[in-house]
Amino acid sequence: MMPETSSDRAPGKRRDKSTGRLATYTAGLGFALLLTAGSFLVGKTGLFWPPGVPVGLAVLAIAQMGVHLVFFLHISTGADNTNNVLALAFGVLIVGLVVTGSLWIMMHLNANMMPPGAAMEMRH
Amino acid sequence: MNTAATNGDLLRIPAHDTPQESTGPGAQGPAPVEIVVAYGFWIFLLSDIIMFSALFASYAVLSGDTAGGPAGHDLFNLEHVAIETLCLLFSSYSCGLGALAIERRHLPAFYLCSAVTFVLGATFLGLELTEFSGMVAQGAGPTRSAFLSAFFALVGLHGVHVSIGLLWLLFMVAQVVAQGPRDYVLRRLHCFSLFWHALDIIWIALLTLVYLLGART
């Protein structure tokens, strides 16, 4: 049992023990549905400027991850949540390094693997 | 007079020595088991997400290398994917409602929510397996091209996680049936709901990178 005076909060635990718990999940579901619908709208229909679609999809996906973290996993900015947020920040840092690092290196390797003419066009 | 002085001392001493004075992290001694367990599982989930990020990176690198085979927009059916997405999302929601129910020791509601979570998760898995077998049947199996190898590795790993989650959910419901909502059963259930919500977060990245971006021509 978690004492009320504890200085830390377990990930996924809510601070509000008595009120607004069902409402939190339902609000999260609503936001997630809206953002998912937005993703399909942006990705599937030709309504949007095509070069902007990947950026739009990325923004919607990151927003929905945020919604899931806040409303389903109850990660907040409170002082009792510092450990959870720091661990998350470290995870995000490593994920960012792995993904951007791989893409960056492989883009250069791809450029070097191309025939000389194509590779010359890739260089700035 | 004497007793008054003693009382004054008694009142003053706790004010100086009580642990309430120090308020930094760790000032109240070791954290409760509940927090330690959930925090450890949180670290595991983040490391799991880092493992996924390596497969995401390789998919992003290899997604164009179709070796003359089918590309994403030839294979992906977004209506199908939308149903999968809704299954996972509502499964996550009902998992959250189940956590609320067991917190209130409301067992029938917990069983109902767990059943809904399980059925939606199993539906997702069935849809994914249908998709995979359909792709293999039309000659787009994991050996066809680097793109398809990366696709099956990434989406398949998520599917394996969902299967493990479903098994875990069965075990947790069995534990609640057999042992009741004891503290250690609740801790495990809490870890399970963290796991299930994290899988949904990974699915959002999959949906966006693999399906929505891949289905564009």
Q: Does B170 touch chain A (CB under 8 A)?
A: no
B3 vs B86, residue with greater confidence: B86
Residue B28 lies in a domain: no
**pLDDT tens digit sequence for B122-136:** 999 999 999 999 999
CB–CB of B212 and A43 under 8 A? Answer: yes
Average pLDDT of chain A, as a whole number: 82
| Closest of A102, A42, A57 to residue B60, by C-alpha | A102
Residue B98 lies in a domain: yes
Identify the top-confidence range among A11-15, A68-72, A106-110: A68-72
Average pLDDT of chain B, as a whole number: 88
Q: Is residue B19 over pLDDT 60?
A: no
pLDDT at position A34 is: 96
- Which band of pLDDT confidence, cut at 50, 70 and 90, is reported for residue A18? very low
Q: Is residue A5 over pLDDT 50?
A: no
Q: Does A1 touch chain B (CB under 8 A)?
A: yes
Domain count, chain B: 1
pTM of the entire predicted model: 0.84
Residue B41 lies in a domain: no
Report the C-alpha gap between B81 and B29 in whole angstroms. 49
CB–CB of B208 and A58 under 8 A? Answer: yes
**pLDDT tens digit sequence for A80-91:** 788 899 999 999
Q: Is residue A119 over pLDDT 90?
A: no
Name the closest residue on chain B to residue A110, using Cα atoms: B61
Identify the top-confidence range among B25-29, B32-36, B190-194: B190-194
Which residues of chain A are within 8 Å of residue B198 when distances are taken between CB atoms? Answer: 73
CB–CB of B61 and A102 under 8 A? Answer: yes
B147 vs A6, residue with greater confidence: B147
Q: Which of residues 94-113 of B touch A (CB under 8 A)?
A: 96-97, 100
Report the C-alpha gap between B188 and B185 in whole angstroms. 5
Residue B8 lies in a domain: no
- Helix pair angle (B33-62, B183-206), 10° resolution: 20
Burial (CB < 10 A; 0-12, 13-18, 19+), residue A110, is: middle
Cβ proximity of B204 and A45 under 8 Å: no
Q: Which residues contact B199 (CB under 8 A, 6 or more apart)?
A: B88, B158, B161, B162, B165
Can you give the CATH number for the domain in which B184 is found? 1.20.120.80
Stretch B151-176: mean pLDDT: 96
Residue B10 lies in a domain: no
Residue B36 lies in a domain: no
* Closest residue to B89, CB basis, from A32, A58, A60: A32
Cβ proximity of B77 and B131 under 8 Å: yes
Structural domain span for residue B69: 54-214
**A95–chain B nearest CA distance, Å:** 5
Interface pTM, i.e. ipTM: 0.81
Which amino acid would we find at residue B132?
F
Stretch B5-25: mean pLDDT: 54
Report the C-alpha gap between B207 and B84 in whole angstroms. 10
Report the C-alpha gap between A116 and A27 in whole angstroms. 55
Name the closest residue on chain B to residue A54, using Cα atoms: B213
The backbone region for B139, taken as left when phi is positive above 0, alpha when psi lies in -120 to 50, beta otherwise, is left
Residue B180 lies in a domain: yes
Q: Which residues contact A73 (CB under 8 A, 6 or more apart)?
A: A11, A12, B194, B197, B198
A6 vs A76, residue with greater confidence: A76
Report the C-alpha gap between A29 and B94 in whole angstroms. 10
Residue B86 lies in a domain: yes
